[in-house]
Amino acid sequence: MTVSARITGTGRYLPERILTNQDLERMVETSDQWIRERTGIRERRIAADHETSSSMGAEAARAALASAELDPREVDLVIAGTCTPDGMFPAVASRIQYAIGAPHAAAFDVNSACNGFLSAISTATQFIGTGAAQHAVVLGTETMSRILDWSDRTTCVLFGDGAGAVVLEAAQPGEPGRVEAPLLRSDGSQASLLYATGPCTPGQAGIEAEARLVMDGRAVFRSAVNAMADICSDAIAAAGLTVDDIALCVPHQANERILAATAKQLGLPMERVFMNLDRYGNTSSATIPIALSEASDEGRLQPGDRVLLTAFGGGLSWGAMVLEWSGVRAPLATAAVAAGARAS
């Protein structure tokens, strides 16, 4: 018998440093008005020199475990969605597994860029569904600032750093909440539209090679809207629902215009679309779990609500799923979130 997985805890971590649009005006030829009108972003967080995807992910995981009231020694699976690992190996998830004190957990990373969290939670759901795991920590965690070309005004204004996490547990009979209809898609023929180089890239291999993000923004915009609208429709139908049944959509926070166009195609009112990209920018795989944590904190998610998640990223890869929200405690705020941010 297949066991349902449900979210029982959420958490997030955001670096203290804020990089505003006004700060970017002093770094590259751009303007606050240009950025806001084309993306909806006002500011983003930037990791400190000592912070990494694993250190931020560990903070988010601790908050999610506290929210779920789960002892980390009971965790038997850690999966991190990330495209900005601390290094080539070991996995970011392995570093997080050690940092949070989960000695019995298997750990590995999933890299499908901005679609990484949905890929990770889909994978963890299968582990729980087969009985191979009972408690999983699933993360999206990124230090995008370290793969940006800060002289490229078309990309450096878009991204930020941060981490989000959820705890997934096997649902007991009669308990509310489950992950429904996870769908994932990919089209490698369009990989050149959004990618990052690295030390294994032909022609620049070696320890001196630098990772750099490359994106054709207009082409990605067109692909993202159509792909997300289609897969959201498929996920809603697979769950036996209609758009009217969706209490809240928590999408990947890439661009306000992408989100508005996708919602319009779905026939979903914008008041039922959660957005925080104005404050954090695009944190790649971390956007959805950060947004879920905030939506939960703000009371936007109630037990029994049907929640739609969707993302689009490099690969090209995209996905969608419907959750029945189980109701979780407010996660403990990390030091950086609680203390507020210091302007850069």
Write out the catalytic residue numbers.
114, 252, 282
- Whether residue 113 contacts residue 284, with contact meaning beta carbons closer than 8 Å, is answered with yes
Among the listed residues 9, 96, 14, 68, the one whose alpha carbon sits nearest the alpha carbon of residue 287: 14
CA 143-16-69 angle, 5° bins: 85
Annotate the chain with three-state secondary structure.
Answer: CCCCEEEEEEEEECCCEEEEHHHHHCCCCCCHHHHHHHHCCCEEEECCCCCCHHHHHHHHHHHHHHHHCCCHHHCCEEEEECCCCCCCCCCHHHHHHHHCCCCCCEEEEECCHHHHHHHHHHHHHHHHHHCCCCEEEEEEEEEHHHHCCCCCCCCCCCECEEEEEEEEEECCCCCCCEEEEEEEEECHHHHHHEEECCCCCCCCCCCCCCCCEEECHHHHHHHHHHHHHHHHHHHHHHCCCCHHHEEEEEECCCCHHHHHHHHHHHCCCHHHECCCHHHHCECHHHHHHHHHHHHHHCCCCCCCCEEEEEEEECCCEEEEEEEECCCCCCCCCCHHHHHCCEEC
- Counting Cα atoms < 13 Å in the Cβ hemisphere of 229 gives 17
Q: Alpha-carbon distance 42 to 22, whole Å?
A: 9
Residues paired with residue 46 on neighbouring β-strands, in sequence order: 17
